[in-house]
Each structure stands twice: as C-alpha cells, then as structure tokens.
Structure 1
Amino acid sequence: MPIKILATQLKKSCYFYQNNVGFTLLEMLVVVLMIGVLSAIAAPSWVSFTNKQQLNKANDIVLSAIQEAQREAKKRKFGYSISFRTDNNIPQIAVHPKDTAPDSFWRNLGDEVGIKAGKIVLGTNLTDRNTTTASSSVIYAAAFNTTTPQTITFDYTGALDLTIKTKTDGLTSVQNTKIGTKGLIVAVAVAKSGFPTQATNERRCVIMKTLLGSVKIGKSATECQ
C-alpha cells in the first residue's frame, strides 16, 4: 500500500512539473525590455565604429589614387593628374593624363569597398591646380571647375608640376606661394545624417606638404580643415 501511495504522489509531482515548464508573460516582457535597453546602448557605438571604418577606407582610397597618379607620371615620363569632385552628392576621383580632361576617368569614391552614397563627403583646400593659400579651408562637396580645378598634377619625376623660375623664384618661394604651411589637403568626412554634402567633425585627410610630393595622413578635424 505505501508503494502505491508513493507512486501516485510521484505521478502527480511529475504532472505538476510538466505543467509549470516555460516562461510567464511577465518574464518574456522583462527579457524583451532588457534586449531593447542593451540594443539602445550598443547601437550608437556600433554606428560610430562602422563610420570610422568606412572613413579610414575612403581615406586609404584617396591616398592610393594619389600614389597611382605619381607612379603613372614617373612610369610614362609625362605629367599625370588626380582630380576631385562631387556629382549628385556622390564623391568622385579621376586619375588622368595632365593634358586630358578627367571626363571619362571619374569613378565613385568607395564603390570598391561598399561605401554607400551619402555616407562620405569629399573636400579639398585647392584653389587652383597644385595651389592653395594660407587662409584656404577645406571646401566639401564642390563640383569640378575647369577654371580653378580641384586637381593635383605630378611631373615626370613624381614631384608637383610647378614652374620654378630659376633667377626670380627659388624652391622655398614657390613652396610658400603655392602650398604654404598647411599643404594641399584632400579630406574625407562622415556626412551628417540626412545631409550628404555636409561634413561632421569625424574626418581623415591626405596632406601634401612639399613640392617633392611627400604626403602625411591627418586624423583629426583640426588637421583636416
């Protein structure tokens, strides 16, 4: 008899346990709420991280294109250029022979690494071919202008293609007149949300500070302005 009572109680206990397996509605709501809170905390950090990754990639592309123009100039033994513009909110670059218009050479900045239009904005402080002024700041999202082109040109040695008048202009004079203390700056920046032609302070840039064509990388808004 005791064995039968024990078996009955055990059966009831198992039935009770099976009917209470799972989560209550309140528990489910708490879990969903926690996931929402964690997502809200993590999302801005993730967006910031991906923006910086895309920005670094875009700047690497600009540097690579400038180096490509230098290599072509030295290899072909004549002037080669790289030009910059923004067309329909899309930043573009073109590597082309010095005396050839860039029309058929434009390519979208970032296509090869999956950067979508409207994420990155491109700018330069160029006021003419191979020229800036001490007071010129980087202007973003400008169209290409043949009168004052946003173009850097290298001569057959890979140096900036600038005329130096031996008797009247020394190297230092030309350096100060053409590229000054700031140098020629090509900058990329994260675009403001909803404003694809406006730059945030998250910026990178390539700076050409000497006539010989040597470059450095800028990683702050101060360096890239």
Structure 2
Amino acid sequence: MGNLTLKLFHTRMCNKNTKERFHFQDDAGFTLIEVLVVVLMIGILAAIAAPSWLAFVNRQQVNKANDAVLAALQEAQREAKNKKLSYSVSFQKNTTTQNVEVAVYRTKKSDGSNLPFAEISTWKPLGADVGANSDKLLLGANLSAENIANSTTNSPVSYPPPSTPTKITFDYMGALTSPTPNFGTATAPSTEPPGLKIVVAVPSAANSTLASSVKRCVIVKTLLGSMLTAKDDKCS
C-alpha cells in the first residue's frame, strides 16, 4: 500500500513538472522595445546594402545596353556584306520617351540618294529585347560626323551627342565607307587613335545630364570595321 501511494505521488509530481515546463503564459510575445530594435537593425542593414545593390543593377543595365550597341553594329556590318549594299547604324536619345534608340538601315534609297534621318522608320529602344531600361542611361559618342572622330582631345565624348543622330556606316564589303574615316588623335603617352566610340553610361547622382564613372562602350578601331568593347575610363 505504501509503495502504491509513493508511486502515485511521484506520478503527480512528474505530471505537474511537465505541465509547468510546457505551459506558456497568455501574455507571451514581443515588447515594443524589442520590435523597435529589430526594425532599427533592418533599416541599418538595408541602408548598408542598398548602394551596393543599386550599383549592381546599374552595371547590369549598362552592360546589356552595350551588348545591344555591339549587336547593332555587327548587324549593320553583316547586312552590308550579305546584301552587297551600304548599311548604316544610328543612335539617338529620344527627347520624348528618354529612351536611347537604335536603327539599322540601308544607307541609300532606291534612287541612290542618302536616306534622310527624318525618313528612318526602324528606330527601336536600345536593348529592349534583353531587358535594358535605356531611358535610365545616357548616350555618348566621340563622333563629329559620320565615321569621323571628334578632334577634341580633352573631352572627345559628349553627352548627349548632337541633335543629329550618331551614325556609323559600312560599305558593301563590311568596311567603313569612304571618304577615309578619321579615328581621332592619339593622346600621349598612347600612340594609338581612340577610334569611333559609342558610349552608354549611368547618369551622375549629382547631375543626371552628366555621366558617372560607370560607362561601357563599343569602339570601332580599323578601316575594316573591327570592334572591341571597353568600360569606365577607357570610354572617356
């Protein structure tokens, strides 16, 4: 009998301890101070991460746009060789939509005259097919005329370029058309001309009409139309 009483007492005590261990108070939760601390920590982390994320997004956008510039130039050169006709590629900043636009087209009309810019019907937003938001980018170039590099050495690239769209033309062999193109003046200590540059850039945070240090460009380097891509200070 004594052993039975002792076992019952032991069982009650174990059950009581178990209930106490797993019983939650009705008022359990977070205090206002704890919530504020968490919110403050999230804000601090977001403030630290936001600039890096924005810089990453900007680099992705300008990379996509520059790939589209290269693709357009290559398309014009390819069409010129395939069809044995002169083809041009032009770039402009649309003042209405703010998109950087590109057009690849036959340089001359059927009567042999040059196609006026006003009659170009193939304009499209640069890089729209690869997800580039060209309205957030600046368009620059070092061209003073068709296939002619700007002779200004201290600031050859302008943002935006002249109101007349920037134009590069390839002849029926895929080379740059005559008269002889001008690739610009070499800046010491380099002895190599800068080439014909089409530049896309992220606007400066201080002034949206000026380019930041984040730039990408395609450079046409030779009479045969060879191209290379570059970035940042190489695109100045």
Same fold (TM over 0.5): yes
Alpha-carbon distance, 1:5 to partner: 6.7
Which TM-score applies when normalising by structure 1?
0.82
Counterpart CA distance in 2 for 1:11 and 1:24 is 27
Shift of 1:6: 2.6
Determine the structure 2 residue equivalent to 1:179.
183
The one-letter code sitting in structure 2 at the alignment partner of 1:118 is: D
The CA deviation string for residues 173-213 of structure 1, in whole angstroms up to 9 with x for no partner, is x46xx113111000000123485543211100001111110
In 2, distance between residues paired with 1:186 and 1:117?
14
Q: Does the 8 Å contact 1:85/1:93 carry over to 2?
A: yes
Q: Which residue of 2 aligns with 1:206?
A: 218
2:177 to 155, 161, 183: 161
Residue 83 of structure 2 corresponds to: 76
Deviation at 1:30, TM superposition (A): 1.7
Aligned to 1:140: 159
Aligned to 1:171: none
Q: Aligned equivalents of 2:105 and 2:139: distance in 1? A: 19
The root-mean-square deviation of aligned C-alpha atoms, in Å, is: 2.5
Give distance in 2, aligned partners of 1:117 and 1:132: 24
2:142 aligned with 1:115: no
Question: Which of 143, 146, 149 pairs up with 1:126?
Answer: 143
Change (3 A) 1:117 1:67: closer
Q: Which runs of 5+ in 1 are unaligned?
A: 164-173
Residue in 2 aligned with 1:35? 42
- Quote how far apart the aligned CAs of 1:119 are: 1.4
Q: Which amino acid aligns with 2:135?
A: G
Q: 1:24 to 1:46 in 2, by over 3 A?
A: same
CA distance in 1, matches of 2:223, 2:10: 100
- C-alpha distance in 2, partners of 1:11/1:151? 83
- 1:44 paired to 2:51: yes
Percent identity, please. 44
How far apart are residue 3 of structure 1 and its match?
A: 4.8
Q: 1:191 to 1:110 in 2, by over 3 A?
A: farther
Distance 2:125 2:73 in 1: 15
Amino acid at match of 1:179: F
| Residue aligned with 1:223, SS | helix
Contact 1:91/1:108 (<8 A) preserved: yes
Change (3 A) 1:143 1:85: farther
For residue 118 of structure 1, report the CA deviation from its aligned partner: 3.5
Q: Which of the pair has more CA radius of gyration?
A: 2
**What is the letter of the counterpart of residue 146 of structure 2?**
R
CA–CA distance in structure 2, aligned partners of residues 153 and 182 of structure 1: 18
**Closer/same/farther in 2, CA of residues 79 and 150 from structure 1, 3 Å limit:** same
1:84 positional shift: 1.3
Of 71, 77, 97, which residue of structure 1 is paired with 2:106?
A: 97
- Label 1:133 to 1:17 Cα distance change in 2 as closer, same or farther (>3 A): closer
1: distance between equivalents of 2:221 and 2:228?
8
TM-score, scaled to structure 2: 0.78
Conserved? CA contact 2:62–2:132, under 8 Å: no
Aligned residue-pair number = 209
In 1, Cα distance between equivalents of 2:141 and 2:12: 89
- 2:141 aligned partner, one-letter code: T
